[in-house]
Amino acid sequence: MFIRSYLAIAVLFSVSPACNSQSSTTDTNSTQSSAMKADTTDKIIKTDEEWKAMLTPEQYEIARKKGTERAFTGEYWNHHEDGVYKCACCGMPLFNSDTKFESGSGWPSFYNEIGENVTEVRDASQGMIRTEILCMKCDAHLGHVFDDGPNPTGLRYCVNSASLKFEKR
């Protein structure tokens, strides 16, 4: 399938599984350490039933169960308004519209996050090594980050529209 081969190609260029923008360098075995950098004191924790009650079925499947919307079908892949993309689950500001770019992937793509509001974890599912991205506050699954993005970061945060809620500026 086209999408899978596209992702596989992207992975080939993702040599380092950790975030490239971090300053530390050589420890290639500490792939899980980035998951622990966020301050967890004010995390939002809810049961599956609670999330189900407040989200649409699509939001629940993608954000809480690590699903993926089909390319070119989401609400925001071709969305160009000025504002902030927040977490659909908890409202945490995650991406600014001025860091959104045309990746051609069919998913909303950003070259940077807001602050350090996105957590990165190693994802070895589906026969690929990727870096999954989560909301720092509620652990909502957002998508994946790749290191084939544009300047100035070189990163491509590939995000499901269903995990986001846009707020106009």
Is residue 158 within the footprint of Zn ion (CB under 5 A)?
no
Helices and strands, number each (H, E), in the chain: 3, 9
Q: Which CB atom, from 27 or from 42, has the smaller least distance to Zn ion?
A: 42
Q: Which CB atom, from 44 or from 128, has the smaller least distance to Zn ion?
A: 44
What are phi and psi for residue 93, nearest 5 degrees? Answer: -65, 125
Q: Which of 18, 19, 55, 135 binds Zn ion (CB under 5 A)?
A: 135
Is residue 92 within the footprint of Zn ion (CB under 5 A)?
yes
Total interface residues for Zn ion by CB under 5 A: 8
User: Are the C-beta atoms of 161 and 143 separated by less than 8 Å?
Assistant: no
Q: Which CB atom, from 10 or from 158, has the smaller least distance to Zn ion?
A: 158
Q: Which CB atom, from 10 or from 89, has the smaller least distance to Zn ion?
A: 89
- Spatial distance between the Cα atoms of 61 and 105, rounded to a whole number of angstroms: 21
Please report how close the Cβ of residue 89 comes to Zn ion at its closest, in angstroms: 4
Q: Which of 90, 133, 162, 164 binds Zn ion (CB under 5 A)?
A: 90
Active-site residue, selected from the candidate residues 87, 89, 135, 158: 158
Q: Which of 18, 118, 133, 140 binds Zn ion (CB under 5 A)?
A: 140
Count CB atoms within 10 A of the CB of residue 134.
21
Question: Which among 14-22, 51-59, 67-75, 88-96 is the span making contact with Zn ion, rule CB under 5 A?
Answer: 88-96
138 as an active site residue: the answer is no
User: Are the C-beta atoms of 81 and 106 separated by less than 8 Å?
Assistant: no
Burial 97-127 (b: 16+ CB within 10 A, else e): bebbeebebbbbbbbbbbeebbbbbebeeee
DSSP 3-state assignment of 57? helix
Please report how close the Cβ of residue 66 comes to Zn ion at its closest, in angstroms: 14
Strand partners, 83: 168
Residues at the contact surface with Zn ion, assessed by CB under 5 A: 87, 89-90, 92, 135, 137-138, 140
Catalytic sites, residue numbers: 158
